[in-house]
Structure formats: structure tokens, C-alpha cells
Structure 1
């Protein structure tokens, strides 16, 4: 019989690991939380809507273990409070998924208040989340930052979102170099168009379903599978960046 023990690299199981996930009540964050819980990780999530939180927790508890809270990450003090609560519930954590974001458009399309809010959630809260994670996690741990392909595909209505996500991409690369020697791995995941409520009102549910069927749009679970892949790699490796896009749009 042929020996196959070296045919695959060592895989790090998710069972027994503990994950904090910002924005884990809908879309990509919810899909990641459910998959990690199903694989045996204990998860702690947050969101802004109690109904979505309870729905997500019900699904998480069908397959595993988790809890969460309602909060507003635009408030820096509440970012800290979320990490405090997550750390207390989990008893420490070795996975942080920084995902919570709001949609943003062109600079001239937004009011000053909308602009300030988008920056607070999509950029400042990302950095603060990474700061809290980096100071609380021990080797070997993972920080997964959910960016966007919008950082590279620029248009007149994507000014703010593209600017923020491009900043996140640069931040992720530099953070990986800073934290790598400390035993904390940093990975950036940049999805293309994903079916979620962030597509409202331009792309309603029925159109999203049609685009997913035509393979012109991703499901949130597709991104979760990518996150699972990078989290299960050997401790010696870092998946620096994953870009996941719909196959049917590649020829455009």
C-alpha cells in the first residue's frame, strides 16, 4: 500500500478554538460564525439589530456554541466593550474576524454625517478591533480582515467605500508584518459581489437569487469557506490575501 501521510499538509482543526466576529448577525459575518461553530469553535458575535442577532444565534446554536450582543461599533468605547464581553464569554480567544461594515457611495452622494459614520464603522472600528485583538491574543492566533474587491475596482459611486477598503488593504499588509513575529497571523479576504442586505436597495432579494443562480454573485457561505481554509493552515504558514469573485463575471 502506498504511504500517503505526506500527501497533505498538517491541518489545524477549528474544534476547541474561540472566535470573536464583528458583524456576525447577517451576511458574510453570519456565514462565518455558523461555519466556525459547526466545526467546533465557540463564537461571540455582534450586530445592530436584535432580530438579526437572535436569528443568527439560533442558527449558531443549532450547530454549535455561541453568544453575542447588540452594539454600535461607530462608538470607540463600544468596540472596547464588545471585546471585553467576548473575551469574558469565551475565556480568551485565538480568532478575530473583523467584518462589520456599512455601505457607502460617492463622496458627493453622502451627507457629512453619513460620511463620518461610514468612516467610523468601516475604518476606525476596523483598526480599533485589530488593536484590541492584537493586545489580547497570544501565539498562535489569527486575525482575519474582511475587505472588498472595491479597493481595486474603482467607479464614480464608490469613492468612499473604495477609499476605505484600499486603506484596509494597506493596513492589513503592514499589520501582518508587525504581528507575525509575535505569533499572530493576519489575513485579508477580499470578496467580489456577495448576496446580502448590503446590496439593498439596488439589488433586491429576487435579483440577488437570480444572480447567484447565474453564478454572477457569490453566497456569503462561499466567503466563509475561504475563511475556514486560511484558519486551518499550519502555524508556519500565512495566507496573506484571498480574492473571491463570481466566476461568470470574470470575462467582463
Structure 2
């Protein structure tokens, strides 16, 4: 006799879960935070700007519950303080989205201070955030790292950003193997072009809107939909890597 329970895979519900999101006040991070809040997840976010934080929390609280803080993740002590605050607010957490990043260009286009800052935010803070999450999350938990397709599309003006994101790609795959047996799933999301202030000044708002309308650029909500897919998989499986690109953009 057929056991019909084996004929399909049940989605893991999001309602009741708790999430910490770095860089959750704008762009991809904010879209993920709003999506999760709307699905019944309590969220705690951070960002650089008080106005952006207030706007993000307004959107989050319109559909669910959440809080956050303004901080500077380039400072290792503030990474710890952010996770302390998030853990205290949420009463524990089982989702971490590591997303906060700044734009970076070619190695010879950046001065030393800008280079150090990009490494501190885009790489060091990623690893420190993963370290805090790995020691604090309740199983079965999910850690999602937001990478970039820039890790694979290489050019002379992307050396620093591409190098960092390539490092994140290798780190996430190895971390999946390290943390999986401990009850934490690790996934990497690599978006293509997404409309956000990360595109400034090369792609201003009006051009971003035109590219999104032509389906040559994604919205943050498109990446959030991919994250929702990752988080709702059965606990026995993990989506190791997902690449999300605009359908109509040639050459990406």
C-alpha cells in the first residue's frame, strides 16, 4: 500500500521563526526583512542611517513585528553588540541573513582607507556575523549569505568587490559542511543587477526604473522571493547556492 506522505515534500513554515538581518534597512536586506515579517517572522535589523532604519521599521511593522538599530559593522565590537541586541530582542533566533555590504571598485581606483573599509564591511563583518550566528542560533537554523554574481563576472573595475565575493562563495560552501551536522543550514544567494543605492552613481534612479520595467534589472523583492524558497525547504535538505539574474539582460 502506498504511503501518500512520501509522494510530496512539505514546505517548512516561516511563521513563529525569528531572524537577524544585517543591512536590513535598504535594498535587498529591507525586502527580505519585510517579506519575513509578512510571513510571521519576528525580525531584527541594522543599518547606517537613522532615517532608513525608521522607514524600514515602518514597512516591517505594517505587516508584522520587528526592531533594529543604527550601527557600524566595520567595527568588530559593534558586530557583537548588534547580535547581542538582536538576541535579546528576539529571545533567541533561528534565521540569520548576512547581507550588509558597500560598493567597491578596482584596486587602483580606491585609496587605502576605502579599501580597508570595504574589506571590513564586506568580508570581515560577514565572517564575524557568521561566527556569532553559528554559536547562538537554535537548530534547525538557517544562515543565508548574500553574495553577488560579481564573483563570476570579472572586470578591471570590480577587482576588490569580485575578490571579496569570491571569498564569500568559498567560505559559504565550506561553512555548509561545517555547520550542517550541527543543525544549521548555510545557503549562498548570488544576485545579478538589483535596483538599489548600490548602483549609484553609475545607474541613477530613473535608469534603474527603466531597466526594471524592461526586466533588465531585478528588484530587492525578487531576491527576497528566492530567500523565502531557501528557508521553506524541508529540514533534511539545503539549497547550497542560488543565482538570481534578470531575464532580459544580455551578457550577465
TM bucket, shorter chain: over 0.9
- Do residues 84 (structure 1) and 98 (structure 2) align? no
Give the whole-Å Cα distance in 2 for the aligned partners of 1:5 and 1:220: 35
Residues 179-202 of structure 1: per-residue CA shift (max 9 Å, x gap)? 000010000000000000000111
Q: Following superposition of structure 1 onto structure 2, how do residues 118-197 of structure 1 map, counting pairs within 5 Å?
A: 118-197=118-197
Give the whole-Å Cα distance in 2 for the aligned partners of 1:186 and 1:48: 26
Give the whole-Å Cα distance in 1 for the aligned partners of 2:46 and 2:29: 9
Partner of 1:49: 49
Q: Following superposition of structure 1 onto structure 2, how do residues 1-252 of structure 1 map, counting pairs within 5 Å?
A: 8-250=8-250
Give the whole-Å Cα distance in 1 for the aligned partners of 2:106 and 2:26: 24
Maintained 8 Å contact 2:92/2:138: no
Give the whole-Å Cα distance in 1 for the aligned partners of 2:153 and 2:96: 27
* Runs ≥4 residues deviating over 2 A: 3-8
Residues 219-246 of structure 1: per-residue CA shift (max 9 Å, x gap)? 0000000000000000000000000000
Give the whole-Å Cα distance in 1 for the aligned partners of 2:169 and 2:112: 24
Give the whole-Å Cα distance in 2 for the aligned partners of 1:4 and 1:207: 51
Taking a change above 3 Å as real, the CA distance of residues 104 and 40 of structure 1, as seen in their structure-2 partners, is same
Give the whole-Å Cα distance in 1 for the aligned partners of 2:116 and 2:211: 32
Cα deviation, residue 153, structure 1: 0.2
Q: TM-score, normalised by structure 1?
A: 0.97
Give 3-state SS (helix, strand or coil) of 2:55's partner: helix
Give the whole-Å Cα distance in 1 for the aligned partners of 2:63 and 2:9: 27
Cα deviation, residue 70, structure 1: 0.2
Maintained 8 Å contact 2:28/2:221: yes
Computed over aligned residues only, the root mean square deviation of the Cα atoms, in angstroms, reads: 1.2
Q: TM-score, normalised by structure 2?
A: 0.97
Maintained 8 Å contact 2:23/2:47: yes
